[in-house]
Amino acid sequence: MAISSEDTTKIAVCDLDHTLIHSDMLFENLLALIKKNLLYVLLIPFWLLKGKAYMKNKIFSIGEVSVADLPYNHGVITYLKQLRENGYKLCLATASMQSTADRVMEHLDLFDEAYGSSPTQNLKADHKKRFLDSEFGEGGYIYIGDSDADLKVWNGAAGAVVVGRNNAFISKVRSLTKVLHTIPGNGKSYLKTLVKQIRVYQWVKNILMFLPVATAHVQYFPDYVQALWAFFSFSFIASSVYVTNDLLDLSSDRHHPRKRKRPLASGDMPLLHGLILSPSLLILGYILAIFVVAEPMFVLVLTIYYAITTAYSFILKRVAIMDIIVLAILYTIRIIAGSAATGIATSEWLLAFTMFIFISLAVVKRYTELLVMKKNSKNQLKGRGYEVDDISLLLGIGPASGYLSVLVFALYVNSPKVATLYSNPILLWAIAPFMLYWITRMWLLAHRGKMTDDPIVFTVKDKYSYIIGFFILCIALLAKVI
């Protein structure tokens, strides 16, 4: 660890952003400000005209975040505790506002002093070096940091502790001062982090876009190609929404046992990257929609989907029951999008069936989340409009909606339309018991606490769902050809 009780320099100064925490407080507060009221964004240029320090002060004061929720770097905290045991005075020095520095110091109960920016001075780079030199004397402290801006501080410091950087950067620091210790980053592949963040595994939901082609028994190959391009367009748009949703849900995700591991919530992906990624995916999705799919109705449906999901991210997900209905609508819109992309009309039976079954799955999602909260002795689902006592209500709504989807399917089997698509439609009745079993089993697992909070992803990994799906497909094929 390169810590010695005989060191003459007994002052250690630690940076905050991407050093003590795996995040950036400016963007943390900016996102909190946006979540509070999107119109604040229009004021930022006017605040900036009065100087960066003034702008930061406004953002921090309006968009204040809880320091207890921040993704702390436990490797740095452990090292700081070792320094303290060796008699070091520990100081926090950050470009974040003084109020934030004070709250972090109080929360961790680790630092002796905390220094932050003021409305007139941004405590970063040269400003930070001059301040620390005036407080402790040049070369009177070791400094723990991570960024290019910290190179200014390390120039003349008694020693350096470098956090999460590569060998090339560490060599730069060595040219300025003695490197006492290095604390590596998380070691995760950025490509894997990116794939995880845009939730490629969630793209399986967009397979619903192929249902209009499949259920109409279309054999024209170009229609499937058109549906495939629409699938990628829709997937990029959906991923854009996932990133936006994660940016707005940082606080609530960090309270969730699984969601806290998401790249943005955990700090594995910088918030700035998320702010760039979201519009980039949106633009890419629309490029595919306009220039490749080139169906005006598909672009319209895509825009409606994006508008509804944006409203969901900002408002509707916090309204109990409404959020469930909106989630079911978003699943159904995927089918409508597939129809719009290929020009193949969607059956009203298919829309009614999917609406009911996806309401059931949306309720599974909320029910599972509440069950986790109950096990952790929490009374409310943070960021949602539900309390633990609502579990019994959801347990009534969910299975009932699933069984209604089976009823719709039974009515479809008896409809005149089915006779035009199947040679022996009476065989389709054999599908109903499999559907009843699958829906009941999903709810049984959810009730036992064995369901993940995303039933679609659970289904993709569930071997029994594949077996049931195989039998349903075989029955449908027999009804078609016999």
Task: Examine the pLDDT at 220 and tell me if it is beyond 90.
Answer: no
**Which residues neighbour 405 within 8 Å (Cβ) at sequence distance 6 or greater?**
353, 354, 356, 357, 360, 435, 439
Encode pLDDT of 85-131 as tens digits. 999 999 999 999 999 999 999 999 999 999 999 998 899 999 999 99
For tokens 């306009």, the residue is 290
Provide the pLDDT for residue 417: 78
Distance between CA atoms of residues 133 and 216, nearest Å:
75
- pLDDT recorded at residue 1: 45
Kindly indicate the confidence band of residue 5, based on its pLDDT and cuts at 50, 70 and 90: very low
Q: What is the mean pLDDT of residues 183-189?
A: 85
Is residue 233 within 8 A of residue 340, CB to CB? The reply is no
Mean pLDDT lowest among 165-179, 204-218, 325-339, 435-449:
204-218
pLDDT above 70 as % of the chain: 96
Q: What is the pLDDT of residue 382?
A: 66
Task: Decide yes or no: CATH 1.10.357 for domain 191-481.
Answer: no
Going by their DSSP bridges, the two strands 142-145 and 11-14 should be labelled as: parallel
- What is the Cα–Cα distance from 112 to 104, expressed in whole angstroms? 12
pLDDT digits 0-9 by tens, 340-364? 998 888 888 888 999 999 999 999 9
The domain spans of the chain are 11-183, 191-481
**What's the average model confidence in pLDDT over 257-276?**
92
The CATH number fitting domain 11-183, selected from 3.30.530.20, 3.40.718.10, 3.40.50.1000, 3.40.50.1370: 3.40.50.1000
Average pLDDT over residues 386-406: 93
Residue 38's alpha-carbon distances to 30, 45, 281, in angstroms, are: 10, 14, 20
Q: Hey, is 163 helix, strand or coil? A: strand
Residue burial 125-139, b: 16+ Cβ < 10 Å; e: rest: bebbbebbbeebeee
Q: What is the pTM of this model?
A: 0.83
pLDDT at 335: 92
Q: Assess contact for 146 and 94: CB atoms under 8 A.
A: no
Higher-pLDDT residue of 235 and 350 is: 235
pLDDT at 381: 67
Q: What is the mean pLDDT of the chain?
A: 90
